[in-house]
Amino acid sequence: MRIKIRFKVIVDILLFLSGLISIGTGLALLILPSGPGTQASLKTSSSVFDLFTRSGLKLFHDWSSILLVALILFHLILNWRMIFCYFRSAFKPAKC
C-alpha cells in the first residue's frame, strides 16, 4: 500500500472517530441538566478536566469539534485533485 493511500486511510479513520466523539458529547450535553439549582454532572467533582461534569464534557466536545474541522480541511487538501476532476468532468468530459 502506498504511503499516500495509507495516510488518507488514517485521516479518514480519525475523521470518523472525531465525528463520533463530537456527536456523542453533543448529545450528552443536550441531555444533562444545566442552570442554577440543578446538579449539572453525573457525579460530584470539581475538576474541569473530569469528563463526567458538564464543563469537562463541553471542553472535550469543543476540542473534538476543532479537531474534526481541521481534519475535514486536511482531507479536502489531500483529495483536492479528485474533487477538481469531479467538477471539471461535470461541465465537460475531460481526462484527469
Closest residue by Cα to residue 58 from 87, 29, 88, 95: 29
Beta bridge partners of 53: 41
**What predicted TM-score, i.e. pTM, was given to this entire model?**
0.74
Quick check: 26 and 62 in contact, CB under 8 A? Answer: no
Residue-wise pLDDT for 22-77, tens only, equals: 999 999 889 877 766 555 555 555 554 566 678 888 999 999 999 999 999 999 99
**H helical segments located in 1-96:** 3-31, 54-78, 80-91
What pLDDT is recorded for position 17?
Answer: 97
Cell numbers placing 62 = 469543543
